[in-house]
Amino acid sequence: MKYYFAPMEGITGYVFRNAHHACFSGVERYYTPFLAPGSGKGFSSRELRDILPENNRGTPVTPQVLTCREEDFIKASKTLAGYGYGEVNLNLGCPSGTVTAKGKGSGFLADPERLDRFLDCVFSELSASCPGLRISIKTRIGYVSEEEFPALLEIFNRYPVSGLIVHPRVREDYYKGKPRMEAFRLAAGESRIPLCYNGDIRSVSDAENVETEFPGLSAIMIGRGAVACPWLMEQLKDGRWKRKTDEEADEETNEELRRRFVKFHDMLLCGYQEVMPGDRNVLFKMKELWDHFGSHFPEAAKELKRIRKAQRIAEYQEAARSVLQSGTALYQ
């Protein structure tokens, strides 16, 4: 099975991706948070920094584009192909109101005819101008209702889409409630496109359950679960971790995970300090990450609070160090 790191706006930018790739194995591909090219304008300088080859050296990355305008998608894809990317991913999942109001992200799913015309145009144009460039799709299963999904799937199936990543929720679910597995079963049965499952995988057993139920899957994409547990894909991929039972998950295993978690944390902190102006911004980023990391340290409530309250990097570092050294068993 292949494991992809999900795109997460505000979290999985290039500093995060490179640090993760340096510290943990098992991720086949990292998808960038969406790039939303302005009408006719191309990428912003922040977006360009995220995809420039010199900022992504050695890390397998697929850029994701969010737009409902054919010409903007085509222009963005040509730019990305020019930087050497072999795949561009179309975002049909973003639930944010400001995005969907413009008919983008999951908002595009509400107008299947328009989506069909969009795909027709971009596939015919790009197959001529960028032959070999793969176009994949990351989608929800509908805007309002999962009953929209069969028609959407039929549309996707008509095009040479290189991969279909399905997050089985509708827009109105945002990220809450249980994934709608019935709709995913339909995708598993009907998709002619290599299929990737995405949603609520937080542990080895969550992933194994999906793999057992859907043996034909080409990949699993993990977002929040892999931010909280950055070694999750390595655990899934690497037999060395898998063979261990609870009793075997000894002190040594936990110490190795802790050492690599500390390295990952320090690379993130240094990386953000290098590219972000001012401690306030860096602290904001790190605190956001601790909303995810914190789940491993339930007994370090006081130190976690010190992280949240820290106003200066030195204060933050001291609090983070004491949490990271606390006695929790990281292996699960």
Ligand X SMILES: Cc1cc2nc3c(=O)[nH]c(=O)nc-3n(C[C@H](O)[C@H](O)[C@H](O)COP(=O)(O)O)c2cc1C
Which positions touch ligand X (CB under 6 A)?
Answer: 6-11, 33-34, 64, 91, 93-94, 138, 167, 175, 198-201, 222-225
Helix/strand/coil for 90: strand
CB of 229 to ligand X, least distance (A): 11
For the beta carbon of residue 33, count every other beta carbon within 10 angstroms: 22
CB of 124 to ligand X, least distance (A): 25
- Please choose, from the candidates 70, 79, 80, the residue with its C-alpha nearest in 3D space to the C-alpha of residue 39: 70
CB closer to ligand X out of 118 and 303: 118
The continuous run of DSSP H or E covering 198 comes out as strand 195-198
Q: Which residue's CB atom is positioned nearest to ligand X?
A: 223
CB of 94 to ligand X, least distance (A): 6
- Please choose, from the candidates 1, 76, 11, the residue with its C-alpha nearest in 3D space to the C-alpha of residue 37: 76
- Give the C-alpha separation, 77 to 43, whole Å: 11
CB of 158 to ligand X, least distance (A): 22
CB closer to ligand X out of 105 and 300: 105
Annotate 29-54 with DSSP letters as a single string.
Answer: EEEPPPB--BTTTB--HHHHHHH-GG
Sheet holding 195-198, edge to edge: 61-62, 29-31, 2-5, 219-222, 195-198, 164-166, 134-139, 87-92, 64-65
- Please choose, from the candidates 137, 122, 157, the residue with its C-alpha nearest in 3D space to the C-alpha of residue 62: 137
- Give the C-alpha separation, 256 to 258, whole Å: 5
CB closer to ligand X out of 176 and 243: 176
CB of 227 to ligand X, least distance (A): 8
CB of 223 to ligand X, least distance (A): 3
CA-based torsion, 308, 323, 234, 83: positive or negative: positive
- Give the C-alpha separation, 53 to 140, whole Å: 29
CB of 89 to ligand X, least distance (A): 8
CB closer to ligand X out of 18 and 300: 18
Longest dimension (CA), the chain: 59
CB closer to ligand X out of 236 and 300: 236
CB closer to ligand X out of 91 and 136: 91
> 317 CB contacts (<8 Å, ≥6 apart)?
269
CB closer to ligand X out of 13 and 303: 13
- Please choose, from the candidates 112, 106, 156, 151, the residue with its C-alpha nearest in 3D space to the C-alpha of residue 136: 156
CB closer to ligand X out of 56 and 300: 56
CB of 221 to ligand X, least distance (A): 7
